[in-house]
Every structure is written in C-alpha cells, then in structure tokens.
Chains A and B, each alone.
Chain A
Amino acid sequence: MTRTELRDGVFLTEIEDKRFKKQEILISLSAPLTRETLTQSALLTYMFARGTRDLPDMTLLARRLAYLYGAQLTRGASSYGFCRAVYAWIDGIVPRCSPEQSLTGDYVRIALDTLFDPTLKDGEFDSEWTKIEKQKLADAIAAEYDSKRYYCFTETMARFFGEADVRSLPDCGLISDLASITPRSLAEYYRALTENARVEIVSIGERIDRSLFDGIAPRLSPEISKPIPVKPRETERLEISDQVNQQKITMCYTTGRMLDFKERAAFHVGSALFGGVQSSRLFMKIREKKGLCYSCGAAPELLSGILTVDGGVAFGKEQRFVDSVERELGSIARGHISKRELHEAKLALKGALMGAEDNSQALMRWYYGQIAAGQELLSPSDYIADVERVTADEVAAAMSELHLNVIGSFARGNA
C-alpha cells in the first residue's frame, strides 16, 4: 500500500494486487458534515446519475458501463464521524481479462467525470432533472422505513447522538430540506464542494496511470473535526410502533471517551467476544442457548468507543433480551472471560481480517473507512498484530467502561 499527496489536498492511496480480477477505484470529495449541506450532498449524488459532459444522459452512461463489461458505478454520500464524503466508486474487470487494454483508464475517466464534470447547463443543473431526482431521493428516504430493523437502528442512533450533534443526521438526507433546494443552489453547493473538498483516490488492483489525475486542481483541504465521544447519561427508551411481526431492538452503549490505539484493539476483541463473531456470547447464549432471537449482533465504533447491539425478538421477550445482553456484557466487564473464548474471539477476528486480503471490495472498505475517519492507515496484517497482543484484562477494562445510553424498540402497535 502506498499513499501519496499528488498535490495540496489530493491524495492517492494505491493497493497494487495483481491477484484480483476486479479493479476498484473510489474517488471521494471529503468535507465537514453540516446540517445545511447534508441533503444537498445526498441529492448531488442522484444528479450524478444523470450523466457527464461526455455521456450527457443516464442511458448513454449506462450503455457505456455495460460496454465496459458491466462496470459498476456507485455514487453516494456517506458520513464518517464529522466528515461527509461524496464519492464515485467504480469497479470492473481488470484489463488482462479483456481484449481491451484501456479499461482502467476508462474507469478513472468515468469516475472523475462523474464528480468533476457532471451535466450542467449554463452553470446550473437541469431544472427538470433536478425535479425528478428530488422525487427519487424522496422515494429513497421513504423507503428507509421498509426495513424495520434498520429503521429502529438509525432512529436509536439519532437519539443516541442527540439533535444538536450532526452525527444524528441520516445519510440519505432529510425530506424536509428538499423543497428549498433549487437547480441553482445545488450547483452553488456543488462548485464549493469541488473547489474546496479534500480529494481522496483509492485504487485496488492494477497500477493506474497517475497522469489521469493531472486535471484535479490543488485545494485548501478543509479541516474536519475529529470524532468526539458521546457522554454517558441516564438510560432512555425510544419506542416506535407499527404493524410488525417481530420486535426490533437496538441498544447503544458509549465509553464516553476516545480510545487510543491499544485500547481500540482491546475494545474490538471485546466486541467480537461479546457479539461480533459466531462464538460470541450473543450468538451462543442468547440465540443458540436461550433461543431468544434468530439474529442479533454487536458492532463497535472503535475511535469514539461506541458499541451497538441490535436484534429481532418475539413480542413480550424484549426485557428478557435486554436483561440477557446486559448480563453478558456485565460478565465480560467483570473479567469473566475464559482463555478459550478470548482465544476464539481473537482467532475469528484474525480470520476475518485475513479474509479481507482476499477480497478487493473488503479491502476498499477497510482502507477507505480509515481514510474517511482520518485515521493512520494500517493494513489488515498490521492490525492483526495489535489484536494478538490483547489480554483478557484489557478486554474487561475496555468493556467495563460501556454505559447503556439508549434502548430503541420497534414494536407492534395497536392500529
């Protein structure tokens, strides 16, 4: 892995790996996450789907991608802590698997044109297209409600961060913001973003010609705030209800402080042991032994010491589920960790990290996640060494700091 600053505010991270048949290229514009620009950034990625100056409508763009052996172009806007990243992620077969040799150049050009040369008319986005894409984004926001488990999770996380914290805002934006966005205001936001945002380019697969990025101007990369911890507070409950067949539960925990490198590995192992792998307490005790749920798990946010648990349980078993989760977490925090379960959690985590080395998409998520969060870049192998050094005492210490701030529940209503 190499990381180079091509010019001010423009970074290229390359993972050259000739084993892969898939080339992955992600180009992102990173800026501070703000309430004012959240929905604009989400809508912008919908406008990107309309085409580029070279391929000025969505059909031509789709046909070009199909011609390039079905290359996939994903445009999106995601929040990473206080960073908002607007990105174009393209993947397709590597040149050696096709008679054409220029595929990688084509991929780069499409991703660059998507971000830097979208279809604009007289400096504005097309008004009809803007109207159409606003409706599509509204549809997508409405569809967030379809997966009740995900909806319960996002609503509970929003409560966890609190209204004043921009991290409580949904990735897809807010429907209430859409009406005020005009083709002109969107173009103005777009120009400000492309001129100022930090540019991150990540490529996995074959080496790419760096001159393809010559057109990206240097920029004053904006300062993005580092994540801050969520302070522990009295546990509150969020109740959502509708006509569902199974109750969904999300539990949000915080350590209340940022974790350093060593603590992060211990927190990661602790989260795996608690609910991140098949041998975990949540899987083995709550699902397999008690049969309380079909699916439940725990996921950590390592930097700011946050842990979420989510699952689906039968009606009437919510409290039993919550009590069981709390009991298992308490037991780990008190240091009741057997040598065997610690070894197995580390082994499973190590296996998952090693597996990322075999999968270009997993590698992209691994590296880009660190880049977007402003972390020092570690390869999966580097991180394995940190994981292997973790002791049971360190796990217990990390998990003992967790405090349950919010329990969210999506239950059956009476309608």
Chain B
Amino acid sequence: MTQIIASSAVDERVYKTVLDNGLTVLVCERPDRVGANAVLAVGVGSASASYEENGHRVSYPAGTAHFLEHMMFAGRKTDAMTEFARLGSACNAFTAVEKTCYTASANNNILPSVDALIRFVAEPYFTERRVRRERSIIGEEISMYADNVYWQLVNGGMSLIYHNHPCRDDIAGNSESISQITAETLYQAYRAFYRPSSMTLSVSGRVKNEEILELAERILGSKPHADAHTSFPVDEPLHVVADSKQIFMPVGMTQCAIFYKEPPIDNNRLPTEMLVDIILDTVFGETTDFYRIMYDSGLINQSFSTQIFVGESHFCTALTGETPNPEKLRDAINNEIERVKQNGLDRDRFAEVVRSRYGDEILDFDSNSDIAYSMAALSMRGHGPFDVLEMLKTVAIEDADKLIQNLFVRDRSAMLIIKPIERI
C-alpha cells in the first residue's frame, strides 16, 4: 500500500511504498522538472565488516563493501558505464560507514536509466579477472585519498578515538585487505547484505510513482524477504586511544582535528544528531563571538568547521581547520565548552542557527539529487522525508542546554595534528 507524505512548507509530495519483500520505494513526482535522479541505497557500509550468523561470527576484509560498490557496475552482458552511455545518462556510487548508495542522473531516457540502475544492483556478476582489474583501480583510489589532507585528518582522528569500531578503518580498506577479496568473497557479501529489506529506492523528478513501482516490482519484487543481518557487536570502550598524535604531510600550513568521543545514541538518533549540530554551530559557528575572537587572534581561519559522525554504535564530533597553534586552539575550545556548560547557550544565537537550519532543509528540497538522497538517507534511519523540517519547528534550547552537559568531555577527546614537511 502506498502512503502519501506531503509538506506544505516545501510544496512537495512523496509516495512511499514498502513491497512485500521489504524494499522501500520513495518517489517525489516533480513534473515541472526536466530530469530525474535516483538513489538505490543499501544498508551495508564499511562498518558492516562482521555479522553474526547461527552464533558464529562472519567477517569480511576491510574494504569489502566498497569493493562491492565498484564491482556492482560490472554487469554480465555489458557494464554500467556502457549502458548509461547508451542512455545518455550518468551513474555513480559511493560507500559510507553504514550504507552504500548507487545513483543515476538522467535527463534523457529517465525510466530506462532507473531500470538500469536497479538491474545492475539486482544482478551481480563478478569474475576473478574483473576483480583483479578493479583492485588496481581501487588501489589508485586509496593512493589518491592518502594524498587528501582532510581525509587523513578525519581518518587519523577516528583511529585516535576508536579502539575497535570499524569506523576507524579507511572505507576503501588498504592494499593488504583488498588483496584478500575475491569474486567469491563478493558473492558471499552480496548474499549477506543486499537484501530487499535493507534497500531503499528513492527517485525524484519527472517520473510517476506507478512507473517507478512497476520497475521496482519487476526487477526486485521476486527477491525473497530476508531480515537484514545485524552487525557483530563491537566492544568499544568510551575512553580514547590516545590524547594526541602528530603526523607530517606536504601541506601549506599546520592543521588539526579535535575529536570528542560521545556515548553511542541507542534509539531515535536523528533528534539528538540534529540538536548536536545546532549546538556546535551555536557555540563555534560564524555567528559567535568565539569564532570572531579566534579568527582575529589568528588561531583559526575560514577553514575552521565542525562535523558530526553518527552511526549505529558510534557517535563523535570534530572541529577541524588550519591553525598555527593546535594546543592553544584546543585549550580555547575546551574553555568555551566549559563556559557554555556553566552559562547556557546564547538564546538569540540558538534561534538564528535554528532558522538557518530550517532554510537549509527547505533547500534540500530544491534539486532532484538532494531530494533523492535525503529521502533515502532518512528512510534508512526510519524517518520520513520531512521529519527534520518538522523537528526544527519544535526544537528547544532547554533540551540543548541539557544535552550539552554530557557532551564534549575533555578526557574523551583527542587531537590529530598534521604538520608540513619541509618542501623538497
């Protein structure tokens, strides 16, 4: 049965259907648009390295979910690049900690493009030869990210605060782990994780709900229902691995990431995640006196930013940027946190940040690609497409003041510093 979810704030309607086998289909019809974007999201990511089956632990090499993502476009008769080229549309994919997303962007041949996207994910075809070739491409991708400063800052920071959680590993794995992955490994992982109940198909643009449903039913409808595997519980203490670490890279100036490890959020993560995001901006964002003082003192520049990383069993925040004095910046941040914990959040700033987030959410419903991704991401976490907009209407500073008391604890923080190596 199809449910219609509407929002007058963004003037959009979304059709939501859950097929008998558990596949969720979301469609935002936008007949005034030229094209459409589709996302087929699967609930498997780099953190899905281990799961429990019949009391046994089944483990995959690091980077398996990402390798699967690369291989899914291989195809039996033709590969996805050839197929999408024929259609005049584009496909892409990415792997995150807890999900893998396959995307299609089509302004020509919209329905055949969505059809192709679903088919490639529904009908895997892996050969050892293709696995070998893809290993070489992934090897280059790993090398590319090894030169990416921000990537190293975040990955390095994660490995400073997490002892065992797979979010500390590079999503693509490493040269050793990907050398262990074979076609058979990929088939096993596919069977374990690519189950309709852990998939969401989300489409936005010049499409009709019935057309997309027909495609989904035809290609994925015959796949039997099976519950998704749950990840093997990770034994992760709350304390961090190390207080700080310094590495050297060929960069223009010193940069750092200050991470705060937080207790995992057990249920209904979204409201907490949203509130923490607002808190971070209210305390450290450009609207604050703290930001201006740090900026004028030279401790931060425009690169300063805040991030949240939340998953099923991990939750941390990070402040990153270039600075000439990471230790002094870290002290200043900790002092500001203590000040806010004692005095409470600034009421006016909090309200402004909430308005700003409301605007961001409205704009998430402007482009087809944003809508398709946002609907899929929220659905995979059990939420409707307009839930964030609704939550923002009722967000309360009292809840934020209460929440902050348990966040940003100095003893649960760590700092990664990247210093410039002397240029050759």
Query: In the bound complex, do residue B32 and residue A348 qualify as a contact, i.e. CB atoms below 8 Å apart?
Result: no
Contact of A93 among B286, B289, B362, B423 (CB under 8 A): B362
Query: In the bound complex, do residue A312 and residue B144 qualify as a contact, i.e. CB atoms below 8 Å apart?
Result: yes
Contact of A344 among B88, B133, B285 (CB under 8 A): B88
Residues of A within 8 A of B9 (CB): 97
Residues of A within 8 A of B285 (CB): 62, 66
Closest residue of chain B to A280 (Cβ to Cβ) is B85
Contact of A348 among B85, B348, B423 (CB under 8 A): B85
User: Which residues of A309-355 have CB atoms within 8 Å of chain B's CB atoms?
Assistant: 312-314, 344, 347-348, 350-352, 354-355
The stretch of A193-201, A291-299, A364-372 that contacts the partner chain: A291-299
Tell me, in angstroms, the Cα distance from A270 to B229 when the chains sit together.
48
Tell me, in angstroms, the Cα distance from A237 to B236 when the chains sit together.
51
Given A97-B362, A344-B86, 7 further pairs, Cβ under 8 A = A63-B287, A93-B359, A288-B79, A347-B85, A348-B88, A354-B107, A358-B34
Query: Does A4 touch B at the CB level, under 8 Å?
Result: no
Closest residue of chain B to A346 (Cβ to Cβ) is B88
Query: Does A257 touch B at the CB level, under 8 Å?
Result: no
Per the CB 8 Å criterion, the residue count for chain B at the interface is 75
Contact of B147 among A67, A148, A241, A360 (CB under 8 A): A148
Contact of A70 among B252, B289, B322, B355 (CB under 8 A): B355
Tell me, in angstroms, the Cα distance from A306 to B139 when the chains sit together.
31
Tell me, in angstroms, the Cα distance from A279 to B81 when the chains sit together.
6
Tell me, in angstroms, the Cα distance from A397 to B22 when the chains sit together.
55
Query: Does A11 touch B at the CB level, under 8 Å?
Result: no
* B418: min CB distance to chain A, Å: 9
Interface flags for A45-66 (1: CB within 8 Å of B; 0: not) read 0000000000001110011011
With A71-B359, A243-B421, A278-B85 as known contacts, state yes or no: A291 contacts B136, CB within 8 Å. yes
Tell me, in angstroms, the Cα distance from A415 to B251 when the chains sit together.
15
Query: Does B365 touch A at the CB level, under 8 Å?
Result: yes
Interface flags for A134-169 (1: CB within 8 Å of B; 0: not) read 011001111111111100000000000000000000
Contact of A22 among B205, B303, B363 (CB under 8 A): B363
Contact of B35 among A59, A92, A284, A358 (CB under 8 A): A358
Query: Does A385 touch B at the CB level, under 8 Å?
Result: no
Query: In the bound complex, do residue A21 and residue B349 qualify as a contact, i.e. CB atoms below 8 Å apart?
Result: no
Query: In the bound complex, do residue A59 and residue B140 qualify as a contact, i.e. CB atoms below 8 Å apart?
Result: no
Query: In the bound complex, do residue B424 and residue A241 qualify as a contact, i.e. CB atoms below 8 Å apart?
Result: yes
Query: Does B250 touch A at the CB level, under 8 Å?
Result: yes
With A66-B353, A279-B81 as known contacts, state yes or no: A245 contacts B143, CB within 8 Å. yes
Query: In the bound complex, do residue B107 and residue A351 qualify as a contact, i.e. CB atoms below 8 Å apart?
Result: yes
Contact of B84 among A241, A278, A291 (CB under 8 A): A278
Contact of B141 among A68, A244, A294 (CB under 8 A): A294
* A330: min CB distance to chain B, Å: 22
Query: In the bound complex, do residue A414 and residue B424 qualify as a contact, i.e. CB atoms below 8 Å apart?
Result: yes
* B128: min CB distance to chain A, Å: 14
Query: Does A359 touch B at the CB level, under 8 Å?
Result: yes
Contact of B10 among A21, A70, A246 (CB under 8 A): A21
* B325: min CB distance to chain A, Å: 13
Residues of A within 8 A of B13 (CB): none
Closest residue of chain B to A70 (Cβ to Cβ) is B356
The stretch of B181-189, B291-299, B393-401 that contacts the partner chain: B291-299
User: Which residues of A215-268 have CB atoms within 8 Å of chain B's CB atoms?
Assistant: 241-246
Residues of B within 8 A of A68 (CB): 355, 359
Per the CB 8 Å criterion, the residue count for chain A at the interface is 69
Residues of A within 8 A of B147 (CB): 148-149, 244-246, 312
Query: In the bound complex, do residue A21 and residue B357 qualify as a contact, i.e. CB atoms below 8 Å apart?
Result: no
Interface flags for B109-151 (1: CB within 8 Å of A; 0: not) read 0000000000000000000000001101111110110111100
Query: In the bound complex, do residue B302 and residue A140 qualify as a contact, i.e. CB atoms below 8 Å apart?
Result: yes
Residues of A within 8 A of B302 (CB): 136, 140
Residues of A within 8 A of B133 (CB): 291
Tell me, in angstroms, the Cα distance from A62 to B349 when the chains sit together.
10
Query: Does B108 touch A at the CB level, under 8 Å?
Result: yes
Query: In the bound complex, do residue A278 and residue B81 qualify as a contact, i.e. CB atoms below 8 Å apart?
Result: yes
A-B contact pairs, 9 of them (CB 8 A): A62-B291, A63-B348, A135-B298, A143-B252, A143-B253, A143-B303, A146-B251, A245-B146, A360-B366
Residues of B within 8 A of A148 (CB): 147, 250
Interface centre among B10, B144, B251, B422 (most CB of A within 10 A): B144
Query: Does A383 touch B at the CB level, under 8 Å?
Result: no
* B277: min CB distance to chain A, Å: 12
Residues of A within 8 A of B249 (CB): 243
Tell me, in angstroms, the Cα distance from A357 to B368 when the chains sit together.
12
With A145-B252, A355-B35 as known contacts, state yes or no: A69 contacts B424, CB within 8 Å. no
With A58-B286, A294-B141, A355-B105 as known contacts, state yes or no: A144 contacts B356, CB within 8 Å. no
Query: Does A109 touch B at the CB level, under 8 Å?
Result: no
Residues of B within 8 A of A184 (CB): none
Tell me, in angstroms, the Cα distance from A12 to B421 when the chains sit together.
49
Tell me, in angstroms, the Cα distance from A104 to B356 when the chains sit together.
16
User: Which residues of B80-94 have CB atoms within 8 Å of chain A's CB atoms?
Assistant: 81-82, 84-91
Tell me, in angstroms, the Cα distance from A291 to B143 when the chains sit together.
14
Query: In the bound complex, do residue A351 and residue B106 qualify as a contact, i.e. CB atoms below 8 Å apart?
Result: yes
With A58-B286, A97-B9, A140-B301 as known contacts, state yes or no: A355 contacts B34, CB within 8 Å. yes
Query: In the bound complex, do residue B250 and residue A242 qualify as a contact, i.e. CB atoms below 8 Å apart?
Result: yes
Closest residue of chain A to B143 (Cβ to Cβ) is A246
Query: In the bound complex, do residue A284 and residue B353 qualify as a contact, i.e. CB atoms below 8 Å apart?
Result: no
Tell me, in angstroms, the Cα distance from A245 to B296 when the chains sit together.
35
* A206: min CB distance to chain B, Å: 13
Tell me, in angstroms, the Cα distance from A21 to B360 when the chains sit together.
11
Contact of B143 among A312, A347, A414 (CB under 8 A): A312
Residues of B within 8 A of A359 (CB): 367
Query: In the bound complex, do residue B366 and residue A294 qualify as a contact, i.e. CB atoms below 8 Å apart?
Result: no
Query: In the bound complex, do residue B81 and residue A63 qualify as a contact, i.e. CB atoms below 8 Å apart?
Result: no
Tell me, in angstroms, the Cα distance from A377 to B42 when the chains sit together.
43
Tell me, in angstroms, the Cα distance from A57 to B366 when the chains sit together.
31
Interface centre among B10, B147, B249, B285 (most CB of A within 10 A): B147
Query: In the bound complex, do residue A69 and residue B108 qualify as a contact, i.e. CB atoms below 8 Å apart?
Result: no
Query: Does B57 touch A at the CB level, under 8 Å?
Result: no
Q: What 5 A-B pairs come out closest when comparing CB atoms?
A: A69-B359, A279-B85, A347-B88, A142-B252, A70-B356
Query: In the bound complex, do residue A59 and residue B10 qualify as a contact, i.e. CB atoms below 8 Å apart?
Result: no
Contact of B252 among A67, A144, A347, A358 (CB under 8 A): A144
Query: Does B51 touch A at the CB level, under 8 Å?
Result: no
Query: In the bound complex, do residue A246 and residue B422 qualify as a contact, i.e. CB atoms below 8 Å apart?
Result: no
Query: In the bound complex, do residue B286 and residue A97 qualify as a contact, i.e. CB atoms below 8 Å apart?
Result: no
Residues of B within 8 A of A58 (CB): 286, 292, 295
* B326: min CB distance to chain A, Å: 14
Query: In the bound complex, do residue B85 and residue A351 qualify as a contact, i.e. CB atoms below 8 Å apart?
Result: no
Query: In the bound complex, do residue B355 and residue A357 qualify as a contact, i.e. CB atoms below 8 Å apart?
Result: no
